[in-house]
Structure 1
Amino acid sequence: MGGAAGIPGSRRGRAPRAGNAGTGGVSDSATGCALVTGGAGFIGSNLADRLARDGMRVVVLDSLARPGVERNLAWLESRYGDRIERLVGDIRDRRVVAEAAREAQVVFHLAGQVAVTSSLEDPVEDFEVNLKGTLNILEIARDRRVPVIFASTNKVYGDLADIDLELVDEAYLPVDRTIRSSGIGEARPLDFHTPYGCSKGGADQYVLDYSRSFGVPTCVMRMSCIYGPRQMGTEDQGWVAHFLIRALKGETISIFGDGRQVRDVLFVGDAVEAYLSAWRNIEAVSGQAFNLGGGASNAVSLRRLVAHIEDLIGRRVDLEFHDWRAGDQRYFVADAAKARGALGLAAPVAWREGVAELANWLRSEGAAAPKPLEVASL
């Protein structure tokens, strides 16, 4: 996601106006301002691109701490000029957040500490970024009465160890046919595992409670695996892109577990549509959480994804297997029916089509893609 944590203070400035303010009929007379925290990250930059293309001014609050995200921000600035306003800073600093949000009509809060592994190494940092940072966002939103759309995670449901699974075609699937056909719904009890699960889960609940307790218009997106262009996959996040990067480079892919774990994957354009619809419909959906993923039709095991990558690149991919990690889910597929109904979402992009599009984007990046790390996690 990129993040607005890790650099004290802030550095704010407009980019010079580009000769071409992007595509999609952006009007210079368009008004309105949105704040996207973590806006230089993968999902954030795609969301900022859509907002700016639709004519809004976008404040991107990001620490630029994640490798590769500076390139995303430069790309946005080159397309939209002073429609993109960068603010390099830390969401743990409330003054920075207040400055970033002073003209915002909506806050899309995507900044955060994103890795289970990092949370185990430094749980205090994880807590401060994900919980204190989110509380800062909420307090500023409460003062200014602006909506907050928050990027949560499927990790709030824990490891789902109580769901009986069976192996079907080299993939773990629920024995319960209802779960198998529809996935995990929002009625599933929350069960926070690992410091990351606790910090994101706590933030998730704070966002919902600020709607109940203070009347702040809020909405929570509990995301499955989002993938697509501008994703700089690493060991800690972005496994679909990470697998593709290593395969395209002819390098070995390392997998934690046996590769039969199943996830539903969602193309980033579909995720952006959900965030925008939540904002458009905030009066109706305020105080609600939605599972946001590709659903059963876009559920895929790691092994099956690797096989598809092999078809795309025309050669075999070497795999190395490692022990399971703390908090790993052998199965998670989101039941996105609530989100589709409440937010009026179209059917998601089919995973094979989306992965092919991501592969083409990565090829077009060439040597500009960041050097991948040695391992990958979910």
Structure 2
Amino acid sequence: MRKVLLYCFLAVSIITAHAFDPIVYDFTKRNIVKPFPRELAASLTWGEEGYQMNKTADQTMFSAYFYLQAPADAKAMKYAFTYRNSPGAIPQLNLSFNKKGGANGSNGMTKASFPSSTEWATHEVLITIPAGTEMIQCIHSAMEDAYKLAFKSVTVTYLSDTFDITPAPNGFSAKLPPSQWQGVPELPGFYLCVTAEPAREQTSLKLTWDNDALYVGFMANIKSRGVLQAKVKDSKPDAAIFSDDCLELFLHAPARNLAWQFAVNANASRFDAEVKQDVPGDPWRVKSAWNGDWDVVNFLEENRWEATFTIPWKTLGFDGVPKTAIGFNAGRENKSGQENSQWNAYDGNFHAVEKYASLDFSNGKIERTRRVDSVSYLIDRPNAQYEALLSHEPGNFRTGTWGIALLSVFPEKIRQLYSDEEVLEWQDNLLAA
């Protein structure tokens, strides 16, 4: 199949969005998309249902694009695309991140796919925005030689890494699915443990509390209930559930250098443990002998798995709501999707306790931990002899070693190359460096 780019050009001024405020590009009401190249304008039609691309096999490229201006504090964005396509076409999204004054892709590039759909559908992907991005070029593409692709809208929601959290509102009930927790903010976004890139199958959280307990709700997208791996049906503590799909909660009390793990599979079999270091500086290890007083309830639908974890403060050794920040993470083991993902955006396993988010009830904030890309360092040594080695003077090189300063250990043919005066000078230079 040939990849055909579809660029959508926004012929209006660029819109800057406040974080968390969705921007809707409604193509059914605004004729703002232009074809590229221009001579293929007849292949792009616009009407009450938005745009339709009519790609023929003899057209090598039919393209369009639009730009977004990223808020300074945006770390990611949710990108929802409403479309339908002819059979066989596979819509894709390519994004170029641009530095201030830089060209397209000057701050990196990424891509995502949308499932093929012959009926109107809206699918959302999560995109990480590299630090220093000012502009984003959004490019839609399809994989097919000839196809039709209709699109109604794109909705963009920017996300920062700091989220507001609130105590349980009046009428709150942990017996309801988390998606029905009115007045409780959503904490979107799960990231792959291996790369810290957004997970293909996304999960969102809701979190609230009262004087008795912490309540954490999971909302996990699934392809279908049938693909969930849930073989273990064990009501005893510490069931062997980790070969199944699992949802997991991790908490950390820094003042006590102590963490906890809580997990459940789709059959409501569960596991809990303390996570400890034998001595400070050691790896964090799971101690499954610990069993706490807590509860978890599953809510399963055809395309969503929701779960509510209720963790009493007394189970964690707190006398009510913690007065200082605690560590937080949430994880998902997705067997059918072959990916492990977590709410924090670091590359590492679930037990990297020192990388957990900061959950501060007194300030009503939770701040996600995000991987900071490594930087290169230029080695330097302020010494004239060392600088001489780094010079670009051509020719007259000899092979030697810094590890041995005695010429006598070298072969005879090498020793013959040096006079006694040169040997002494060589050793003096070696010591000076």
Q: Shorter chain as normaliser: what TM range?
A: under 0.3
Structure ID, larger Rg:
2
Determine which structure has the larger strand proportion and give its number: 2
Q: So what's the TM-score if we normalise by structure 1?
A: 0.27
Q: So what's the TM-score if we normalise by structure 2?
A: 0.25
